[in-house]
Structure 1
Amino acid sequence: MPQLYQGSAQQFNVVCKSDVMVPMRDGTQLATDLYLPALDGKPVLGRFPVILERTPYDKAAAGNVTNGRYFARRGYVCAVQDVRGRFGSEGTWYPFAQEAPDGYATVEWLAAQEWCDGKVGTMGGSYCGSDQSALATLNPPHLATMIVAVGASSYYHCSMRQNGALELRFIIYAFRMAITSKEALADPNLQAAARQAFDRIGEWISLGPLRASTSPLQLLPSYERWALDILTHGEYDDYWKQRGYAISQYYEQHADVPTLYIGGWYDSYARATCENFIALRRIKKSPQALLMGPWTHGGWGVTYAGDLDFGVQSHIDYNDLRLAWFDRYLKGFRSEAADWSPVRIFVMGAGNDARNYGGRIDRGGHWRDEDDYPLSRAKPAPYYLHGDGQLLPHAPAEAASPSVFTFDPSNPVPTVGGSISAADPLMQPGGFDQRGRADFFGCKDGLPLNARNDVLSFQTPPFERDTEITGPVEVILHASSSAQDTDFTAKLIEVIPASVDDTAGLAINLTDSIIRTRYRNGWDKTELLEPGKIYELRFQLYPTSVVVKAGHRLRVDISSSNFPRFDVNPNTGGPLGLERRVQKADQSIHHDAEHPSRLLLPVVGGG
């Protein structure tokens, strides 16, 4: 996809009508800023396509003002709205719950205005990407196109929860958002209390499950209720099937409009972005496009992800790209978007792995157009765990003792990078050498993470030739535990040989995930383990795209925690989000002829 598109001429000035109150179906009114094309200080008479963004982060924030003016100058009306219960809008904020009906009502209200030509497009990322998909499940008649950046497909399966475990960044998020709640903005004392709580977020997270009326969130009942709900709804029940949480439940009802999905390999919504594209391209007639860069959450304007740098070719001009799309599908122009391939991915790797002037690792990479995703030529290649610590393309041929470790919930493995968002100051997203650092929460030393006794490593020999891996990675573990319920984690790592800059070599995280064993047979039911019994556990890591260079190795690290990325399993089998007790668990990973634990790597060209 192009990096620069001139598009609609900048032929207008801009008039902003602030705090226009848009009525919802239940009478609640949502504050909306309207950026209108203008000349001589007055709105231009006529009808224009409308671009809508709905946000919980303040419609009057500098970035929203910039975007509104950018599109209005080019002949669009741009509407930026505070979602229900945030900033200027009425009502109570309970994340995502009302975004489908409120979004529908807003699209149709905009379409009915005298300055609208009947076409409404939507844009935005993260929450503002997810709320687009939510409203699209109600299929508003005047919705014409969407640009969904880093948004959800199912908050249970791969956003708030992941294979049953809770992503603690959303508890961090609740504390952060409390600072700018309507109540806190109106009460300096309440806001000071919220700030103080967030300043100690590491302590709150480390205490274990949040309990009702024990934290400053109790001063904001809807915020506390939401945090407790996502903590305690462990099963995939009706709570998670709401339209605002489970876009994937409503794909058949989803609007059939041209949609561009934008994501990053190191983004917390990488899997969701790909899933939305895959599903909707199969069942909708309108063009669906996918753009996946090497980015962290919203990081398309920079060249790095964590400690990795991918070069100047890796970033995009976000507004110019969106203009090309909207010019094509709202104005009908023959913009560059008409010639884009359905899929464009950034394949990471092929850099020299030296440190650049900023201290980051030169990973390099290149863009490539594809007809579809996942790639039909990316074949799942099995790599088997062996008892001697090797990761090999052939299965173990005979019996072998399992690899064992003890998981202590009071001493979890610290999070070092990954597909994370909205988790500062406790976590940083992206790729990092997998060793402790003083600026990473929970790290007690600077040693490699796999030096811990509760981390098992399995590593390939050096690759003989450059090998591309593009797509989701599946893990099949044969595991047993002394506990009735526990977790297992898997992290795929590229091992880079020693160099002048990094004399110990590097171990760079590519992708990872976790599975909560009580949900091994279905996300909607709890089935506890029989201690000591061997179970097959299958789960998917987030997708990636990387060239593993000749001489490099791949490694998978297996453990039972990744904190504070995920909540720590207490190993008791007690109720999730309520259990106060913890116990150690003796874990075994089996890797013999009868129990072939393995990875399925999407190797392009078949290996």
Structure 2
Amino acid sequence: MKPIDKRVIMLPCSIRIREHFFVRRLLTNFITVSILCVNVVSFAQDVAYPVPEHFKVAMRDGVMLGTNVYLPEGEGPWPVILTRTPYNMKRSDRRAQRYFDDGFAFVTQDCRGKFTSEGVYEPYQTDIVDGYDVIEWIAEQSWCNGKVGMSGRSALGINTNLAAAADPPHLVCGYVVTAPESLFDESYFMGGIFREHFRGNFMRITGAEDQIPILKSRVVLDEKWKRTDLIHHRHKINIPIYNFGGWYDMFARGAINNFVALQYHGREGARGNQKLWMGPWAHSKLDGDLEYPDAIGLNRGFDEEMRWFRYWLKGEQNGIMDEPAMTYHHLGAARKGKVSDRNRFFKTDVWPPVSRDTRYYLRADKTMSIVRPTELESATSYVFDPADPIPTVGGANYNNLPDRFPIRVGPVDQREISDRQDYLRFETQVLDEEVTIQGRIEFELWASTDAVDTDFMIKLVDVYPDGYEAIMIDSPIRTRYRDGRKPGDIRMMTPGKPELMVIDLWSMSMTFEKGHRIAIHISSSSFPRFEVNPNTGEAPGESTMGARKAVNSVFHDAGHSSALILPVTDLEF
């Protein structure tokens, strides 16, 4: 190894081993001879994990970040794969071994202010520049051949995207699993509503509960949010990135939108060099009631990652760039034991495919029809009581919190809340032929309230012939943010006045099969997924007036035609 760079300090306790880089775990418990014999056999089969060298790497402002370097046996230099984590880099030994098997060195770093790193932890605020600095430090080391790839899932994927946005000269490619395009509008808020279960509980278990009111008050887009949101920096990315996501993941929108923006509209090094894989899973695994085939494909992510890095970092001609840019699981009926053949993987170079925007209008008799209302129909109203919110029943929720914060994830039967009077349900007639949709889904909601501010939750539901109701996707909106999230966009409701709100229901590739019904469910709460609106119009995080009930109304007449907009396609099976 060349002399230590002046920007790095190698800790005295670092273990610097080349010939004996792999070590076996020691048996420390007293056990009987018979048990010992069994354990020795098992022990001999264990993987021996590599031992890293530990460094302190200086960022441009002098803050030292803890960094572990894993070098494979043999003579370098090697291409290097980097991850940056807020979750403790010491958990990376197994991952290092997997990269070793393919001839890569591996570097992992604790984010600023976490574990072995100095500084103050402010999630993602400095990860663009910190990512740049460590990548260029790696490239200067004698054990690096000048080619660096970056990888990560969730928070680590966010860090990968942000580092790519810094455009470091030696970052060749990235591999990102389940990461958003906007922390502001996917991770912390949705439709202007705080993500209570995910973000609130995440802060509680990390000792930052006192910061929740402050965070809730930052619901308007400002310059600090823009520093962390890829959507404001994506145009700077100039490398190939492979996005790996799931239709039921809470960051599904980000995976698709990041791919589309870079693949078709990116800089020269990014445009035409992106990949996307979308499966039937949530944030880390298959969840919910349905039994999608080949859901084990989530494990395929590592195989694809290594193919990706071997191609871009080692020049291996493995055919990955000869394949279509996007692989996706098309969703069909998937009740356990009754899985439809409409469930299958497809490959394409074009997303979204050509489609016909088809409107399904809500009607006063709680039906949905492609025929637009031509008469005056009375609005459908309900009373929303913040003291009795509707429970969250499935959807694109986070599934990795401790058991004391339970929430169901993915496609779950909605019938358990079907008898509530504050929960509206509109359905098509039984379909006499299947309806296939691919692309972005929207809902045009005409609604009013007797309050100055309230919430609306929209669910897209697939109703099976036996009455089972699978939630496919849901999305909320806080009425004061119906025109946007910038300071000048905020507009309170005029009590009783109908307003048009367009709700983004993200994207999907699925078939509503013959004999099924398409449904829209509308309410004003989903707890604990989202914080509950007190209906008072007070600033988020500053409620002092308590809460009040609101009478909320959904319109479906000739002049106020609420409608689901589906991107209908003619997919050939």
User: Normalized against structure 1, the TM-score is what?
Assistant: 0.81
Mapped partners of 1:76, 1:305: distance in 2: 33
Partner of 1:565: 529
Q: Which residue of 2 aligns with 1:297?
A: 283
Cα distance change on mapping 1:35 and 1:362 into 2, 3 Å: farther
Q: 1:32, 1:79 within 8 Å by CA — same for their partners in 2?
A: yes
Structure 2 residue 552 is matched with structure 1 residue 574: no
Q: Secondary structure at the match of 1:564?
A: coil
Instruction: Label 1:28 to 1:79 Cα distance change in 2 as closer, same or farther (>3 A).
Output: same
> Secondary structure in 1 aligned to 2:60?
coil
1:398 lines up with 2:375 in the alignment:
yes
Which of 303, 321, 328 is the aligned partner of 1:338? Answer: 321
Q: Which residue does 2:350 correspond to in 1?
A: 372
**Mapping of 1:514-533 within 5 angstroms?**
514-524=476-486, 525-533=489-497
| 2:397 is equivalent to residue 432 of structure 1 | no
Aligned counterpart, 1:210: none
What letter is aligned with 2:425?
S
What's the secondary structure of 2:320's corresponding residue?
helix
Q: What is the distance in 2 between the residues matched to 1:408 and 1:23? A: 53
* Alignment-derived partner of residue 213 in structure 2: 228
Q: Does 1:153 align with 2:181?
A: yes
SS of the equivalent of 1:241 reads helix
Q: Is the 8 A contact 2:180 2:187 kept in 1?
A: yes
The answer to whether the aligner puts 1:603 opposite 2:571 as a matched pair is: no
CA distance in 2 between partners of 1:112 and 1:175 (Å): 40
Higher mean C-alpha displacement, 230-239 vs 99-108: 230-239
Q: What residue number does 1:69 align with? A: 97
Deviation per residue, 1:269-293 (Å, 9 max, x gap): 0011111111122123330111111
In the alignment, does 2:468 pair up with 1:506? Answer: yes
Could you tell me whether the CA contact under 8 Å between 2:291 and 2:336 is conserved in 1?
no
AA aligned opposite 2:346: R
Further displaced range: 407-416 or 169-178: 169-178
> What do the CA deviations read for 1:483-522 (whole angstroms, capped 9, x no partner)?
1011111000000122xxxxxx310000010011101122
Q: Which residue of the partner structure matches residue 470 of structure 1?
A: 438
* Contact kept in structure 2, 1:382 and 1:601, CA below 8 Å: yes
SS at match of 1:81: strand
* Matched residue, 1:585: 550
Q: Where does residue 260 of structure 1 map in the other structure? A: 242
Write out aligned runs for 1:144-543 (5 A): 144-168=172-196, 169-178=198-207, 217=208, 224-225=210-211, 227-242=212-227, 244=228, 246-253=229-236, 255-281=237-263, 282-285=265-268, 286=270, 287-299=273-285, 304-312=286-294, 315=297, 316-351=299-334, 353-355=335-337, 365-375=343-353, 377-421=354-398, 422-424=400-402, 425-435=405-415, 448-498=416-466, 505-524=467-486, 525-543=489-507
- Letter of the aligned partner of 1:407 in structure 2? F
Q: Tell me which amino acid in the other structure corresponds to 2:432.
A: E
Q: CA separation in 2, counterparts of 1:37 and 1:526?
A: 55
Structure 2 SS opposite 1:308: coil
Equivalent pair of 1:292/1:346 in contact (CA under 8 Å): yes
SS of equivalent residue, structure 2 residue 314: coil
Distance 1:117 1:348, change over 3 A: same
Q: Which amino acid aligns with 1:118?
A: G
Partner of 1:16: 51
Q: Corresponding residue for 1:199?
A: none
What secondary structure sits across from 2:554 in the alignment? strand
Distance in 2 between residues matched to 1:566 and 1:133, nearest whole Å: 26
Query: Match for residue 62 of structure 2?
Result: 27
Of stretches 21-30 and 507-516 in structure 1, the one that deviates more from structure 2 is: 21-30
Question: CA separation of 1:363/1:82 partners in 2, compared to 1, >3 Å: closer, same or farther?
Answer: farther
Aligned pairs, how many? Answer: 514
For the 8 Å contact 2:457–2:522, the answer to whether it is kept is: yes
Q: CA deviation at 1:471?
A: 2.1
2:552 maps to amino acid: Q
8 A contact 1:309–1:364 mirrored in 2: no
Question: Are positions 1:92 and 2:60 aligned together?
Answer: no
User: Contact (CA 8 Å) 1:314, 1:366: kept in 2 or not?
Assistant: no
Deviation at 1:314, TM superposition (A): 5.1
For 2:83 and 2:496, how far apart are their aligned partners in 1?
52
| Inter-partner Cα distance in structure 2 for 1:551 and 1:157 | 36
Change beyond 3 A, Cα 1:152–1:431? same
Q: Say if 1:426 and 1:564, in contact at 8 Å, map to a contact too.
A: no
Instruction: Report the secondary structure of 1:19's partner residue.
Output: strand
TM-score for both structures, normalised by structure 2: 0.86
Distance in 1 (alpha carbons) for counterparts of 2:341 and 2:396: 17
Contact 1:486 1:570 in 2 (8 A): yes
Deviation (angstroms), 1:350: 4.4
User: Residues 415-438 of structure 1, C-alpha deviation per residue, up to 9 Å, x if partnerless?
Assistant: 011111145523122111114xxx
Alpha-carbon distance between aligned partners in 2 of 1:391 and 1:400, rounded to the nearest angstrom = 14
**Equivalent in the alignment of 2:4:** none
Unaligned segments of structure 1, at least 5 residues = 1-11, 39-43, 179-216, 218-222, 436-447, 499-504
Q: String of CA shifts for 1:431-453, please: whole Å, max 9, x gaps.
A: 11114xxxxxxxxxxxx323111
Deviation of 1:346 after TM superposition, in Å, equals: 0.5
Report the secondary structure of 1:457's partner residue: strand
For residue 50 of structure 1, what is the aligned residue in structure 2? 80
**Greater CA drift, 385-394 or 18-27:** 18-27
Match of 2:32 in 1: none
**Residues 311 and 364, structure 1, Cα contact 8 Å, conserved in 2:** no
Deviation at residue 73 of structure 1 after TM alignment: 2.6
Opposite residue 477 of structure 2, the aligned amino acid is I
Contact 2:290 2:336 in 1 (8 A): no
Task: Return the letter of the residue paired with 1:520.
Answer: R
- State the distance in 1 between where 2:427 and 2:216 align: 35
SS at match of 2:99: helix
SS at 1:84's partner residue? coil
CA distance in 1, matches of 2:340, 2:108: 38
- Equivalent residue for 1:107? 135
Query: In structure 2, how many angstroms separate the alpha carbons of the residues matched to 1:241 and 1:363?
Result: 44
AA aligned to 2:293 is: G
Distance 1:341 1:512, change over 3 A: same
SS at match of 2:175: strand
Maintained 8 Å contact 1:308/1:362: no
Q: Secondary structure of the equivalent of 1:309?
A: coil
Q: Cα deviation per residue 1:368-392 (whole Å; 9 max; x = unaligned)?
A: 00112122x2222110000000011
Partner of 2:12: none
Q: 1:45 to 1:78 in 2, by over 3 A?
A: same
| Separation in 2, partners of 1:145, 1:585 | 51
**Displacement after TM superposition at 1:313 (Å):** 5.9
* Whole-Å separation in 1 of the counterparts to 2:506 and 2:534: 25
What percentage of residue pairs aligned between the two structures are identical?
34
* Residue type of the alignment partner of 2:476: I
Larger radius of gyration: 2
- Displacement of 1:606 after TM fit? 9.6
1:135 aligns to what SS in structure 2?
helix
Work out whether residues 383 and 600 of structure 1, in 8 Å CA contact, stay in contact via their aligned partners in 2.
Answer: yes
Q: Give me the whole-angstrom Cα distance separating, in 2, the residues matched to 1:362 and 1:90.
A: 53
